[in-house]
Structure formats: structure tokens, C-alpha cells
Chains A and B, each alone.
Chain A
Amino acid sequence: MILAKTGNEALAYAMKQINPDVVAAYPITPSTEIVQIFASYVSDGKVDSEFVAVESEHSAMAACIGSAASGCRTMTATASQGLMLMHEMLFIAGGLRLPIVMPIASRSISSPLNIHGDHSDSLASRDSGWLQFFCETVQEGYDTLIQAVKIAERASLPAIVAVDGFILSHCMERIETFEDKKVKDWLGKWQPKWNVLDYKKPILVGPATMQDYYFEFKRSQIEGMNTALSVIEDVQADFKKSFGRGYDVVEEYRTEDATAVVLLMGSACGTMREAVDVMRAKGSKVGMVKLRVYRPWPHALLAARLGRFQTVAVMDRADTVSSYGGVLYTESKAALYELDKRPAMLAYVYGLGGKEFSLADATAVLEGAVAGKKDELVTYVGVR
């Protein structure tokens, strides 16, 4: 069905079709509507889900862990400070290998308080053991949320699906949705190996470990993340086959003969496509590389794809406040280190707190990439 939906509406609609067993959530701008719309699906009897309107995001994630450990397909939604408050519990969900799925309307982190879009929230959670997907469009958000349920359950890892706050969460797009039944059949039922409600086979979930076992548990979790990339690729292929459209972990735009490319994630990819067209029309050999999957970190894939360019400008919509730019820059730079011939790597930070990222800004970055050299290590785009 073709519908006009904002990012939040589309994500809530995907949640309705996923029809999770349990949703425990707390509202926060800009993802509030996801929870709000979902609550009305519950009130109108359009889903079978148990909805727990918890009193904080910390409790939201704790309740999600309790529910998923009880064998229920479990979802929540949050952003920004909400994700920060969940931080402790994110690691516990990851360590317990529970496939909780969480859409996020990405937003900056206080202080100063700002409700607008950047990637600081999910990127600050990068070491928590969650899969992370960044979406370019509302359509991609809808599709990716459905995919994420299957990926999370197959990989036994929780998953964040991020759409840029306001830019996508509140922007209406024409989207193509699938039939409810098709989504339901494609997802099937989650069959967990254990659950805490099974009193005939009592188990202890969340034990304490000492020096003798902790590392082994963590190593096993790391292995889960190592193998998750192939799970994602399998599920993406399965999705394409079933629904006739789909995505890749790393996607390229007009890179065939490019010498300089920009690597980035999220909604700014749309602006960058336009800028590439503008520059191409002027004869510049530029292109764009879009990263959809940030965790697991597809280092080998990026090395294989980016090695052939002369210059890679890496654009982060979050900063580490370390004086060394953003994580996409540092991690991709590290990923390319093993190559015999390495491209020049340029660091750009843009769009913090929803700062406008215009076509002119995008074009300027491409021009910088073509020039290939910068006076300063990090360029902060559009800062007064």
C-alpha cells in the first residue's frame, strides 16, 4: 500500500505489523509519537501486544530485558537522554544476548539541551553490544525495522534502528508498505532456546561471574557480533527476494570512476546524492559511500570498498569531544590501515543539534575531498 507517513508514523506502523508480544516504553522527543501511536494501536485492539507504560527509560529497558528473557518478542523506542538513561541496561541486554529491537529518532545529547537531530545518542552506545542501523529515508526506516526483528533474533543480539530526529522522524514521505500478513509470515515466530517463565526447567538468568568466566562470556558475545554481518547479509537477501526491494550494508552512489568520495550515514546521504550530481555535472569525479550498518563494524567490507579511492572524506554527525573528530572517521581510518595503498582520509563533523546541512555544505565537502588536503584535522561544517 502506498501511504504518506512521517518517520515516526512509519516506524509505529511497522511495529503494528511486527505485532510484538511486549512493548515497554517511555516518551521522549523526537520519538514520542512512535510510542503514542503504538499505544493507540493497543487501545484500538489492532495489535496483540502487552504495552507497559513504564516510568522511565531505564525501567523501559529493564522491562524489555525481563520480557525478552521470558521468551517474548519485545520492542521499545527512545532517543537522546532516554537512550543515555538506558545506557546501563543496554549493556545488560547485549550481554544476555536478547533480541530486543528499538527504533531511535536520533537526537543530540545535553548540555546544552537540544531536541534536534544528530547521531550522538546511538554512537555513544556503540560499545553496548547492540546492532546499529542508520537509515537515509522514512522508507528505509520502515523496511529496516522489519528486517531488524529477524536479524536480531537470528543473531541473538539486540538492535537499534536509527532515523534522524525531526529530519526523518517528523518529515512526511511517500512510502510503500507491505501487507500485514506478508510481514507476519516473513517474520514467523521467535523460538528462543530458553525462557525464564519455564518453571519446569528453572534457569538462572544474569549470574555473577568472576575472573574465571567473565572474559569467556564476553568473548562469546564478541563472536556473536563477528558473525552478525553474515546474518544481516542473509536476511537482507531474503528480504529482497520476498519484498522485491532491499539494501546493502554499504551502498555506493556514482563511484564507478570516482577519485574522491564521501562516507556518511543517515538522512544527509540524500543531500549528498544531490551534491554529487551537481559536482558530476561540473565534471568532478566524486561519489558517495553510504554506511547503513554501523554495528557490527564492517571493517573488512569498508577496506575492500574504500581502498580504490584517492580521498575519502568521512562525515560524522556526532563528535567524540576528543579533539580527533567522530567515530566514523577514526574507525574507518583504522579499518583502512592494513591496506598497502591507503586513500587520504579527511574528517568532517556536521549537523550537530540539527544544524542545517545544506546542498551548498555538501558540495563544499565534496570540493574539499577533491582538493584532498586540509589545513586542520577536523572541519566543522557550517559552524559560525
Chain B
Amino acid sequence: MARLKELCNNPELFSSGHRACAGCGEALAVRQILLAAPQPVIGIMPTGCTEIFSSIYPHSAWQIPMIHTAFETAASTASGVIAAYDFKKKQGLIKDDLRFVAFGGDGATYDIGFQAISGAFERRHRFLYVCTDNEGYMNTGIQRSSATPYGAHTTTSPAGEVIPGKQMHRKDIMEIIIAHNPAYAAQATVANWNDLVEKVKKAVAADGPSFINVLVPCPLGWGHPGDMTIEVSRLAAETCFWPLYEWQDGKYKVNYEPKEKRPVEEFMKPQGRFAHLFRGDAGKAIIAESQRYIDAQWALLHKKQEALCTP
């Protein structure tokens, strides 16, 4: 288990002074992950919030080498960087073992860049792909993505007089990644930092493509005060909206069992994107459907854990 004191002694590889909003979950995730990842690490990022707030020329928050090409190309660019490393390693031009971490938002991961991720995972490039999942296209001003949860208001799934927010449940990216038989896959939040740190270590140590889906609240897009980011993350885990679990070698492991599973309303209530659901009777049905879905997913996850775990 990691200790904060130890982590504090590690060099800060993501500098302060970048341009993220106050309370940005994404910036927290990047910083925590780089503190935890064994060095040296080469970074790859697609276009998105992180890229914009960390790398406006002539400034850079990155203390590691970092390459950005386009929105849908984190995994494909990583494939080329890793091929170059493999070449140089074989030719004896690089002696050190380098590790590779790509940071992409949910737009770059679930949607526009998904094909490239699928390709890179099939080709077994050894790298960690981190999805900093804030459940929407926040960089362009809060549009829905396939990670946006049921009922949420975004600017392209607006809560209107007829349609109350997004009408579909979120895509289960974890199961899609797991179907690629990765070296490691896990889901984490920025609130459960110790869990996240341990997962990063496992993922980077795994010999092949690995994936961590980190829930990163977006105060601007989710409509909660910046000082509630950690609290909202914690509620996501406590309500089982965002189960903390991992997958390796065909086995699922739920890493966090809340003592008392809290109703999803508690996660939704502090967030403006769900505010319309608390204004009348119509919203109640949507909250009930959200709860039903979460309960079913949570139960299914445990079934998979039981069925696929060796006694």
C-alpha cells in the first residue's frame, strides 16, 4: 500500500501553474498517476482539456517527454512511439527500460479515438492508456459523449421541455476493453487515491496494453462547486455508480465494497447536470431507472467476480 509521505517525496512531474479550472478532476488524476508511475515515463495525449490546459506554447506543465498529435490519435501515436522504442531497444540505441502512458478524455477514448485504441490493444503494444473520464466533451463546452450517464443534461442532450437530458445509458467501456484481453484493466476515482496509485503500479508493471478508467469530476460540466470534486468522486464509489474494480488474467476483483450502498440520488443531488430530475415527477422515473441500472450492473459485476475468480 502506498503512503502519502512516500508519494510526497516523488518528483512532481505535472507542474502547478497550468490552466485547469479550480477543482478539475482531470488535473488531479494526471498528477497522482505521474507520482505513482515508475519512471522514466513517456507521455502521449490527444487533443482535449488536459492538452489545452497543460501545453499552451510557450508553457508546458509536463516534466516528462510528451507528444500530442490530434483528438483521435493518442493510441495510434503511442503505437508509433512504442515501435520506435522497440526498434531502438533492439538495436541497442536505448539501454533504459521506458514506460508509456497515454492520457485521453472520454471523448478521445469512448468515441472518436476508440478505433485506434482497439487497434493498439489488439497489437499488444505495451503501454498504459488512462481514460480521464468526465462523462462529456468538456473541452468544447459540455456536450454529451457515450460516457455521459442517463438523464444528464449537456449542451447536446439538453434537459428540455420534452426530452429530459440524455436518453441512453453510458457505454460500458471497461467490458469492451476487457474483450481485448488486455494485460490489466481497472476503474478508479481521484477520491480513492490509494486505490488509484496501486492500480497505476500494476498497470505499468503489466506486460502489454493496460487500461485505467478514472472518474474525474468536472465542476464546470457537472455543475458542482470546485471544492466538491473529491466529495462527488467519493459519492460515485459509495453509490456504486462508479464501481472500483480491476480485471487481470480473466478475473474480476471488486476493490471497494461500500459498507452501506447509498442511493444514486446522493451522487446526483449536488450536480447541476441532474438538477432538472429533482424538479418534478418526470425526473423521479429517470432517477429510478438510473438506480435500477446501477443495481443491475453492480450485481452483474459481482456475478462475474464470483464466476471467474479462482477459489
Contact = CB atoms under 8 A, between A and B. Distances in A.
Q: Chain B contact residues (Cβ within 8 angstroms of A): what range?
A: 35 or more
Interface in A57-71: 58-60, 62-71
Interface in B77-98: 77-88, 90-91, 94, 96, 98
A69 B42 CA distance: 12
Given A204-B62, A207-B60, A59 B73 contact: yes
Given A55-B119, A199-B65, A213 B58 contact: yes
Given A24-B79, A208-B55, A62 B119 contact: no
A53 interface: yes
Given A22-B80, A64-B80, A48 B87 contact: yes
A22 B87 contact: yes
A74 B80 contact: yes
Given A207-B56, A213-B57, A58 B64 contact: no
A56 B51 contact: no
Given A55-B122, A58-B73, A208-B52, A66 B44 contact: yes
B265 to A, nearest CB: 39
Given A89-B73, A202-B62, A62 B88 contact: no
Contacts of B51: 208
B66 interface: yes
B111 to A, nearest CB: 14
B70 A62 contact: yes
Contacts of A180: none
Contact of B56 (A22, A58, A209): A209
Q: Chain A contact residues (Cβ within 8 angstroms of B): what range?
A: 35 or more
Contacts of B250: none
Nearest to A53: B123
Contacts of B119: 54-56, 59
B143 interface: no
B70 A52 contact: no
Contacts of A208: 51-52, 55-57, 68
B57 A66 contact: no
Given A197-B42, A213-B58, A62 B85 contact: no
B79 A59 contact: yes
B174 interface: no
Nearest to A49: B87
A199 B87 contact: no
A72 B89 CA distance: 12
Contacts of A213: 57-58
Contacts of B58: 207, 213
B62 A52 contact: no
B55 A55 contact: no
A64 B67 CA distance: 13
B106 to A, nearest CB: 19
B67 A199 contact: no
A55 B84 CA distance: 18
Given A50-B86, A59-B73, A197 B66 contact: no
B153 to A, nearest CB: 28
Contacts of B115: 55-56, 59
A278 B4 CA distance: 85
Interface in B114-133: 115-116, 118-119, 122-123
Nearest to A51: B83
25 contacts: A21-B88, A24-B79, A24-B83, A52-B79, A55-B115, A56-B119, A58-B73, A60-B76, A63-B77, A63-B83, A66-B67, A66-B83, A70-B81, A72-B87, A74-B80, A197-B42, A197-B85, A198-B65, A199-B42, A199-B98, A202-B64, A206-B69, A208-B68, A209-B56, A210-B56
Given A205-B65, A205-B66, 9 more contacts: A21-B87, A48-B90, A52-B83, A55-B116, A59-B116, A197-B94, A198-B65, A204-B55, A204-B66
Interface of A: 21-22, 24, 48-50, 52-56, 58-60, 62-72, 74, 88-89, 92, 196-199, 202-210, 213
